[in-house]
Amino acid sequence: MTTTHETTPMKHRDAVGIVRTTLAKIGRYVFIGFVIVFFALPVLWLVTAPFDQAPALRLSVPEFTLQNFQVLIDNPYALRSMWNSVIIAVGTMAIVLVLAALAAYALSRVRVPGRDILLYSLLLLSSIVTGTAAMVPIFVLITELQLIDTYLAVVLVMAGGLLPAAIFILKDFMDNTPKSYEESARVYGASPLQILRHVVVPIARPGLATIAVWGVVQVWGNFLIPFILLRSPEQFPGAVVMFTFYTEGGQPNLALISAFSLLFSIPVVLLYLFVSRRYGFRFYGGIKS
Amino acid sequence: MAEITTHQLVKEFPGGVRAVDGLDLTIADGEFFALLGPSGCGKTTLLRTIAGLEAATKGRLTIGDRDVTELPPGKRDVAMVFQDYALFPHMSVADNISYPLKIQRVPKSSRHATAAETADGLALHGLIDRRPGQLSGGQQQRVALARAVASNPTVFLFDEPLSNLDARLRLEARTFLKRLQRDLGVTTVFVTHDQAEALALADRIAIMKEGRIQQIGSPREVFARPANTFVASFVGSTPMNLHTATVSGEHVKVAGSSVPIPPSARSRVSDGDEVIWGARPEYLRWSTEPVEDSIEGSATIVENLGAAALVTVDAGGTLIQLVVDEDDEPEMGARGWVVPRIDRTLLFDGASGELILDDTPTSP
């Protein structure tokens, strides 16, 4: 490169740079666009298909009708299964919340040798408990306990699977509550349960709310455990009942499935919005002062 | 009556650390009592043991005429203010102040009336509906005090009550705290590592080190007659000059010069004794003319203290600090003579570090 031509290649290089950054930008937006479409399509289908006269596995402007919901109401299992889902979800959530709160509080306050190892191994094992690998032993266990075809079986197995993670998250909230709060209440004569009720629970409330919603969502969408542990169709929760919506010809009954899907997702969305507005979601503890 | 007495009190933590080591202590009714010491000396542990938050390993503890050694904190009739105030962040100021009454099952209307009244008394008017997070540090501290006052205890326990405030506010809060304690007349024990705070607030101070009490006395006694070299160096805003010296006749030889034996120790020392000569920087004077019974040296460092200056004098390798008036500030490197106030100097035993004092002490 000679000195006389020094400016031209510099300009050239600038131009190349601009083109390159522009192309990179375009590429990035196109990629983001694809990702958005990928995630948005199912949601769009979810809100349009239920109102379509002939829903299919594609997106189209619906020929508006509420007929699909009429079919849904006429189905003997559809609405009942929603109620079953509520029972199982709320039952599991209640067990997880109470046990996890107490366990997390105790683990956070009492020195237990090997506590962290215990927590981490529980967390690791919990994914196996509710996972496919342990389904056979769980089925055998529940059969031996004569709990097969009961809500209790589903609730217990689901709660067992969720507890370690719940304890793990809540313990962080409890750890970040200064001990002096409790000691202060103790000096004024509060009993341990009063301390828990007046001080610890209110401070850990965002954590408890997060765990409650997370627990409900986990149970709400779970198919495998109720499918294996429940026998009678009138006990099936929504996630399992959806699996039975077929036409006589053996084709998926998309009218029923789409309407049910929309109905099935509404409670979770509402719950999420309510808790998010009321308490705010947080996965860490601590006090803002 | 709420006298606090400890008898051979021991608090041992797992692992054998003795935070409180066989303590005998009597805190009089209505007294403002300070536990002073460096961090890790066991003062906070002692306070928490009095509160009942730590169980005593051995010994007895009585409050008033009750033996409370085995009682849980809630049954001891004490109120504690924590270093971080421990205000409940989810409760309003009114609910915070009235929390002890809630536990005592006082009806809501009457406990809120008490809370409002107490809050007014502690200059918290108009803040009663706020959350602790919306208050300044000084206000938070007063809410914590109000909560303690509202529970109407026989004993107040304060754990470093002023340490979370900034320097200026601390002085204000100090005066406020002293007036509050005097008005209420409730026996108060407070823990501090700040000797100035202890001197300013307390009726009596216990200076602690490694779980044991080094000295108990009024601020004046502790300042003027420290029981040993540890207390001498810990109490006082500028540390006391402590230098090894040898008794020689009516004088002690220190830093290459010779100064008279303090009158308080004259009858207790004899020729040739190895002692430690102690003099507070405030009780030393700077002279540019030679003076008898003084220490010759040169000013090496001058630190400005506002109306005064802290001068470090090098006397043949021994560094002596003294406080001089701003008008008498020496030039750096100037030669001069450090003149002690003989009646304010002290002698400590060379081996044990204990104060050497006549049996009939002259009043400080």
pLDDT at B364: 45
> Would an 8 Å CB–CB cutoff place B104 in contact with chain A?
yes
For residue B100, which of B84, B122, B118, B83 has the smallest C-alpha distance? B118
* Mean pLDDT, rounded, for A81-89: 93
pLDDT at B226 over 90: yes
Residues of chain A contacting B80 with CB distance shorter than 8 Å: 183-184, 187
Which residues 6+ apart lie within 8 Å of A24 measured at CB?
none
pLDDT at A6 over 60: no
Confidence label for A288 from pLDDT (cuts 50, 70 and 90)? very low
pLDDT at A281: 65
* Mean pLDDT, rounded, for A241-256: 81
Helix (H/G/I), strand (E/B), else coil: A276? helix
Residues of chain A contacting B90 with CB distance shorter than 8 Å: 202-203, 205
The full set of domain ranges for chain B reads 4-227, 241-349
pLDDT at B76: 92
Residues of chain A numbered 196-235 and touching chain B (CB < 8 Å): 198-199, 202-203, 205
* Mean pLDDT, rounded, for A276-288: 64
pLDDT at A279: 76
> Would an 8 Å CB–CB cutoff place B151 in contact with chain A?
yes
| Percentage with pLDDT > 70 across chain B | 98
Chain B nearest C-alpha distance from A189 (Å): 3
Domain boundaries B4-227, corresponding CATH code: 3.40.50.300
Q: What pLDDT, in 10s, does the model give residues B21-79?
A: 888 999 999 999 999 999 889 999 999 999 999 999 999 999 998 999 999 999 999 99
pLDDT at A130: 63
Q: What pLDDT, in 10s, does the model give residues B240-298?
A: 999 999 999 889 999 888 999 998 888 888 888 899 999 999 999 999 999 888 999 99
> Would an 8 Å CB–CB cutoff place A193 in contact with chain B?
no
Complex ipTM: 0.81
pLDDT at B222 over 60: yes
pLDDT at B93 over 60: yes
Confidence label for A289 from pLDDT (cuts 50, 70 and 90)? very low
Which residue is listed with tokens 């690998």?
A133
pLDDT at B362: 47
> Which residue in the set B52, B80, B102 is minimally distant from A184, CB to CB?
B80
Chain centre distance of CA A249: 34
Across chain A, what does the average pLDDT equal?
85
> Which residue in the set B75, B89, B147 is minimally distant from A287, CB to CB?
B89
Secondary structure, 3-state, chain B = CCCEEEEEEEEEECCCEEEEEEEEEEECCCCEEEEECCCCCCHHHHHHHHHCCCCCCEEEEEECCEECCCCCHHHCCEEEECCCCCCCCCCCHHHHHCHHHHHCCCCHHHHHHHHHHHHHHCCCCCCCCCCHHHCCHHHHHHHHHHHHHHCCCCEEEEECCCCCCCHHHHHHHHHHHHHHHHHHCCEEEEEECCHHHHHHHCCEEEEEECCEEEEEECHHHHHHCCCEHHHHHHCCCCCCEEEEEEEECCEEEECCEEEECCHHHHHHCCCCCEEEEEECHHHEEEECCCCCCCEEEEEEEEEECCCEEEEEEEECCEEEEEEEEHHHCCCCCCEEEEEECHHHCEEEECCCCEECCCCCCCCC
* Contact flag A188-B103 (C-beta cutoff 8 Å): yes
CA–CA dist A184, A181 (Å, integer) = 5
Hey, which of A71-80, B167-176, B274-283 has the most confident mean pLDDT?
B274-283
CA–CA dist B299, B285 (Å, integer) = 13
The CATH fold of domain B241-349: OB fold (Dihydrolipoamide Acetyltransferase, E2P) (2.40.50)
Confidence label for A70 from pLDDT (cuts 50, 70 and 90)? confident
> Which residue in the set B53, B103, B133 is minimally distant from A289, CB to CB?
B133
> Would an 8 Å CB–CB cutoff place A139 in contact with chain B?
no
> Would an 8 Å CB–CB cutoff place B152 in contact with chain A?
no
* Mean pLDDT, rounded, for A88-114: 90
Domain with CATH 1.10.3720.10 in chain A: 71-278
pLDDT at A1 over 50: no
> Which residue in the set B74, B84, B104 is minimally distant from A180, CB to CB?
B84
Asked if domains B4-227 and B241-349 share a fold, the reply is no
Chain B nearest C-alpha distance from A215 (Å): 25
Task: Name the class of domain A71-278.
Answer: mainly alpha
For residue A86, which of A275, A271, A278, A273 has the smallest C-alpha distance? A271
> Which residue in the set B52, B86, B100 is minimally distant from A178, CB to CB?
B86
Candidates B13, B103, B149, partner chain A, best to mutate (most A CBs within 10 A): B103
Beta carbons of B35 and B28 less than 8 angstroms apart: no
